[in-house]
Amino acid sequence: MSKAIITGITGQDGYYLSKLLLEKGYEVHGTIRRSSSFNTSRIEPLISEYGKDNQLTLHYSDLLDSTSLNTLIMTIQPDEVYNLAAQSHVAVSFENPVFTTQTGTLGSLALLESIRKSDKKIKFYQASSSEMYGGKGKEKLNEESLFDPRSPYAASKVFAHNMTKIYRDSYNLFCVNGILFNHESPHRGETFVTRKISRAVGRIYSGIQNKVTLGNLEASRDWGFAGDYVKGMWMMMQHDKADDWVLATGETYTVKDYAREAFKTVGLDWSEYIETSEKYFRPNEVDYLLGDSSKAQNNLGWSPETSFKDLVKLMVESDIELATREKVLISEGLMQPTWEHSKDS
């Protein structure tokens, strides 16, 4: 049985990747940070199904604690390590640049060092990001395109990306960089714009929210489905050569396009429910991102399976179900709305 360590297992990508690996028969070990409350809600179904047989095990660890990471790798002796953990919200990285930079740089370096010192040949996956490109042009971006980071988050990702390449070339380690363009799902964090919109649509449709406030509606992104993209992560690790890979759909849509499609799903006019505010604009905006995944398609056999419209529909339908449950709880006095523009506010 192959063993994998996933940092950031409680996030969106951690959920989909761990689900994929568990279904493939892997023994999966995930890292979680110590806190006063449990943050494992996304992966609870996986814990229930696989935890009792020790196929899925969670470990307390921290990307800023190199000793705990080293102990984990030396104890488990994994075949693969997937570094997905980060402070991944771009806007938040401007508010908390030190923490964002530390987790994005020191964590990957500590993992690479532990793998270098290990007696076992361990494969390493680094979660790079399309944000590294900066997005000031209109061209399709691939593995050879130049980076122009425009946020603390993107800058930290460039560092980790380059260190992964350095360790690969210097020590002959199997280290890959996955440059994933935006990938969404019903498990996306609710502060990310796609999920913020789908949550709002669900609540507005259910009658427990009036409108939603967004930032730059003209920002354009290459949006895919997270479930498709984690398959690409795994395929990179099975390839006979360690390399850098772009995963993208090759299509780009604005935030306005996403909002229009989301409200259209429930028969509503998006323009009647959306307002904008400067507080949701980034200090240094990335205007346009469009990816070229030809290399992954030709060499890995990977391609996106979920269309933009199907992705939006999937997210909206999931959040309608969630809003329906919230409405019942509110009506029974078991819940108070805490979101912006609730019907009671």
Q: Are 124 and 111 in contact (CB under 8 A)?
A: yes
pLDDT at 36: 43
What is the predicted pLDDT for the residue at 35? 60
Could you give the C-alpha distances from 181 to 39, 84, 154, 243, 292, in angstroms and in order?
25, 14, 12, 17, 10
Stretch (H or E) spanning 249: none
d(CA 142, CA 290): 9
In the numeric block, the tokens 């019907």 are attached to 343
Phi/psi of residue 220, each to 5°? -115, 130
CA dist., res. 109 & res. 319, Å (int) = 37
Domain range summary for the chain, segments of one domain joined by +: 3-184+224-247, 193-220+252-289+307-331
How far apart are the C-alpha atoms of 211 and 114, rounded to whole Å?
A: 49
Residue type, 249: T
pLDDT of residue 228: 98
Q: Which residues are catalytic?
A: 129, 131, 153
Q: Residue 193 carries which side chain, given as an amino acid letter?
A: V
Please state the separation of Cα 40 from the chain's center in Å: 16
Q: What is the CATH number of domain 3-184+224-247?
A: 3.40.50.720
Rounded to two decimals, the pTM is: 0.95
* Alpha-carbon span 328 to 130, nearest angstrom: 40
Q: Which residues lie across from 247 on neighbouring strands?
A: 180
Fold of 193-220+252-289+307-331: UDP-galactose 4-epimerase; domain 1 (3.90.25)
The values of phi and psi at residue 9, to 5°, are -65, -25
Residue numbers in the chain where pLDDT is lower than 70: 35-38, 344-345
Which alpha helices (H) appear in the chain, and where do they start and end?
12-23, 44-50, 66-76, 90-95, 97-117, 152-171, 193-206, 226-238, 255-265, 294-299, 308-331
Q: Check residue 53 and give its pLDDT.
A: 84
C-alpha distances in Å from residue 27, one per residue of 77, 251, 337:
11, 36, 40
pLDDT of residue 89: 75
